[in-house]
Amino acid sequence: MNKSKTKIQRKGSRQIVTGLTVTNGVHVPKKYKKDIWYHLHYCDLVGPKEHIKNKKLNKSNYKDWLYGRICFVYSIEPEVGKKMMSAFNEILWIL
């Protein structure tokens, strides 16, 4: 067994395996979901073009990038993914 790749987790601590929280079932980490909601909120509030400019994001394919993150959440947590997808579809995507 490789000791550098092994870690002992105490009961009650957050357990992450390959980027997913596996403490009580498999979930996407809260920080990842909050980041998506952040982008959805500001794209809806000021528009995607203004949001990209204000946050100095260097993403030429921003819509596809955000859509891919939402699809990842949907593949793990379908209920949350559906809510994110409906918010994504309500945004006017004129870039």
Residue predicted with more confidence, 53 or 85: 85
| Partners of 16 in the β-ladder | 21
Q: Rounded CA gap, 64 and 13, in Å?
A: 34
Residues 19, 23, 27: CA angle, nearest 5 degrees: 50
Question: What integer is the mean pLDDT of 79-84?
Answer: 96
The string of pLDDT tens digits covering residues 11-66 is 778 887 888 888 888 999 999 999 999 999 999 999 998 988 888 887 778 899 99
- Token pair of 3, please? 């000791």
User: Are the beta carbons of 77 and 69 closer than 8 angstroms?
Assistant: no
The model scores a pTM over 0.95: no
Residue predicted with more confidence, 71 or 94: 71
- Token pair of 68, please? 């891919």
pLDDT at 95: 66
Residue predicted with more confidence, 9 or 82: 82
Question: What integer is the mean pLDDT of 3-9?
Answer: 83
